[in-house]
Structure 1
Amino acid sequence: MSRPAACDAVGVHPRQGYRWFKAARGKNPFERAARSGRYLSEEERLRIADLRLAGAGVRRIAAELGRAPSTISRELARNSSRGGAYRPYAAQKRCRERARRPKPRKLDRIKLALQVELRLVRNWSPEQIRDDLARTFPDRPEMHLRTGRAIRRHRGEPRRASWSKIRDMILISERPAEADDRAVPGHWEGDLIVGINARSAIGTLVERTTRYVMLLHLPNGHSADAVRDAMIPTIQTLPEHLRRSLTWDQGTELARHKDITLATDLAIYFCDPHKPWQRGSNENTNGLLRQYFPKSTDLSVHSPERLLEVADELNQRPRKTLNGQSPAVVFARLQAES
């Protein structure tokens, strides 16, 4: 079929047909379907060009294509020449290039990858690595694993409610200022490390001044009742001046926090949602504990004696933050004080 006959068959001017032929370079000019309903197809772009030549406005074009006027307006603004002529083939080419352009991965950066690897060999979780990098390199965004933008959601996906299931929480913002600088002992941070399929757990308590570790034996699960029953006798072994406060995340395992406070006189504060760095000592300790209690194992098999053994091993390690002393030595000195 000749070009004029083809133009007549599809109802376009021969000049438009010639433009199609030149742009397609002898190939089928149409990509019949767009990659998704969100994107304009090549056929739609050609239709936009025809309607523009016919003098149609944005709203009429939108009605013809079944698209929002804002979509057509953006398309024309993005892909028109300085003289105002719309270029459908150039628009389609740019669309394809944007879709397949290589998106660099953050871990292709050698320095960042090395920092991540150093933390992975210490059994840190992805969240711990992300948060520690943000603290270690506060002014170097290229060394961060998150950009800070909100999590992307598919259109129409319902947002989850942000309310907590824990009643009568006291947030960390109300915690005494003395707990922040670690000068006054007796302020603790707590959390759970969980085993395979989150069916088993071990409770962890870290004293903020000395980094002293205590572990909670939870052989029958980590419900709120189980955590309460394990924590109360553990806290009661401490002298009163070493049970000033406990900071925990908003996990439901501490829903019985009022019972714990009533039995031990220990004030309990809760972190803001999704901010584990507010329990920095505890998060770092959990990373060390993963050397002994891997995430892919059943943690309920460990006896109370084994937990004491692991805690003692950590507490005997000399710490630079304690001028080379171990948490056990410093904590024992504090226990002896009246």
Structure 2
Amino acid sequence: MTNDRGLFFEQFSADEFYIIHIDISYLIVNALMLLITVFFAFKLKSRQFFHTTYKIYLVSLTCQATYLLIMSIYLGKFANDGIERPGVKTFARFFQSASTCFFLLLLILMGKGYTITRGRISTGGVIKITIFMTIYVIAYFILFVFENKFFDPGLVLYLYESPAGYGLIGLHILSWFWFSYAIFCTRKRYPEKSSFYYLFYLFYTFWFLAMPIFVLIAYFVIDKWVREKVVNGVENTIAFLAHLIFLILTRPSAANKNFPYHVKTTQIGVMDNAPHIEMRNQKNFNPFSNDYNPTFEYDEPIEGQKSSHLFTIDNPNKNESKQTQV
């Protein structure tokens, strides 16, 4: 039985109406955003600000665009012949899951100040992040197994409506607590970064909590016959806004007062080799000026030495340049 409402409705059930329209629309805007991101990446690289965290963001956005591309092709073929291809759909969702995992990793790393206020994560921090991300990936894998082996299409209407889905939502909420704690510690230690982290925390708290809250709303409030398409639309909207906000916050422009990167990629090694060194005195400096170089100073004196600076910066807001000792 088919619907006599045109190509994009004929083969779909009522709860799947408009999903193909939504996916194609978001594919177009994500592709445009990916092009802008690549353009910004070249600008950042020319200024030596193309940090690991921005690369992770680029990978996450690429995975999201790939997911939408594969899903649009899959839905287009299904609309044409009515043949389901579950393997293709699972393959597409793999990229969606990868995008979420990479973005979660990005937020945790930036919450801890990586490439913003520090050049490396402590060994203990790396172990914790590795364990957590491994558990998160395993949860996604179990979710895929549940979907392919145990989901009853007549009863389960969307991905998170299962024990594995609820477990994944629980991990998502747990990661928000970790993210919040990391940002609290980073802001406390580096108050000069407060303006960036206020916005960063505000926007991405929404990202962490929006989907768990909406899944509950979908389960208890939204009618089953519209649930799948509504959840699909909200998922794509949340992912799009998350990537768009990051793109805006990190746009390489002198007008961007919240630009987070102040350490060049060529100077990360200095922070790696001397972890007691911290970045200071950024407030009045423009990272996009030609003579920009960040100032570092010792957080704690090395035994037998006085605190000193590694670099010299001319402050454009003062008539007299302040020289620091090497």
TM-score class normalised by the smaller sequence: under 0.3
Larger Cα-atom Rg: 1
RCO higher in structure (CA 8 A, sep ≥6): 2
Structure with a larger share of its residues in helix = 2
TM-score, length of structure 1 as denominator length: 0.26
Structure with a larger share of its residues in strand = 1
